Every structure is written in C-alpha cells, then in structure tokens.
Amino acid sequence: MKYRFRIAGIPALCLALGLSACATQDAAWVHENLALSENFHAGTKVLETPAIPDTGQHLAHLRATAHTRGKRIGADVELVVRAEFDDFSFLDRVSFTSGRAFPLTVVKRETEDCGTTDRSLCNVHEHLTVKLSRDYLKSKRLSGFNVKLWGRRDSVVLFVPPHYIEGLLARMENRTPEAIAASAAQTSPAPMPAAPAPSPASRRR
C-alpha cells in the first residue's frame, strides 16, 4: 500500500513555536479554520473542521449540517471518514469505548485514480459517516474520544481530539472556544468493545 505522509496544522504549528505552544490544545485554531458552505435551495448550512491529525493514510473530520427551514430545523453532527486500503475492507460497523451506538452510513466505495490502467496497483477508498449526538460531543469536549470502524478484512481506529470538538461546538453555540489543557486530553487509544453485529443502522446511502 502506498502511504501518504501529511503534516497536520496543529503539530506543524507546535514544531514552529516550540513545545510550550502545545501546553494548551488550540480549539481557537480549529474554530478559526472551520469551512462554511451554504445551500440556499436546500436551506442548509454546513460547518466542517480541518482534517483530524494523526490518522495515518485515512482522512477524517467533523461536520455539522444546520437545517434552517422545513421539518428538520436543527443541526446534525457527523464524523466523516475516508478510509484508504490496498483492497476493500467493507467497513460497515462502528463501536465506541463508551459502548454508545450511533448510526453508520456507507456513502461509497471506490478505486482511486492513480494514473494507471492496472487497478491492482491503486489503493481503494471507503467513504463513511457516523452520526453523533450533540450531547455526546459535549460530554467529550474535554477528553476527545476513540472510535473503531470494523470491516470484513480490516478495521480503523481513530481518535477525535477534544480541541476539534470544542472548536466546532463553540461556533455552533456562537461563543468563544474554551482552552483545552493538553493534560486533560486522552492521549492513547482505549480498549475497544468487540465488533457489533451488522444492523439496519449500518446502511448504504
């Protein structure tokens, strides 16, 4: 498998400013770098965090979609994941260290365009979303959380840092983000529950 090495914004900033800059997790940086898009016809506004760091070859970020009219007034929050493998893993289940159950949606599975007609030389991407409750995010804004995606061949463990949660929540609540002490954040993966059985909550969009 080809691995792409990425330098995430926060670690790069810490290297530039010195280790003392990492004493506080920078929720303000996340808050200032949220991407906002709006669909006037659908009546939605979408906030997306920068890519979460330290996810290896995978990509992940948090996304909040606000519905400004119709029956679904309010905001939906999701963890958006693009997993990368050398062959399809068929991720279709999700578990959290807390034992909470949230719906997982398989958006699409695709082979990347790597500039060759020999598809066996190309990696594959699996796009998924996990719908999260706002209350759950509030309970994890000081510690972050681990999530594990399970498939037939492989699995993916991701850590969502607390400052990414706080930066997004602060914008959703129209307030200044609070500083998150680095010592308060969970820094190592916690034991994950066994893979749950497939259920209707895991579905193809």
Chain center to CA of 133:
14
Closest CA to 125 of 133, 117, 113: 113
Q: Where are the domains of the chain?
A: 25-195
What CATH class has 25-195?
mainly beta
Closest CA to 47 of 25, 32, 66, 60: 66
Residue type, 37: S
The model's pLDDT over 114-151, given as tens digits with 9 standing for 90+, comes to 777 776 788 999 999 999 999 999 999 999 999 999 99
Q: Please name the residues in contact with 202: beta carbons below 8 A apart, sequence gap of 6 or more.
A: 92, 93, 94, 103, 104, 105, 106
pLDDT at 167 over 70: yes
What are the respective helix, strand and coil percentages of the chain, to the nearest 5? Answer: 20, 35, 45
pLDDT at 37 over 90: yes
Chain center to CA of 105:
13
Closest CA to 132 of 187, 68, 80, 198: 80
pLDDT at 78 over 60: yes
The model's pLDDT over 2-33, given as tens digits with 9 standing for 90+, comes to 333 333 444 444 444 444 444 456 999 999 99
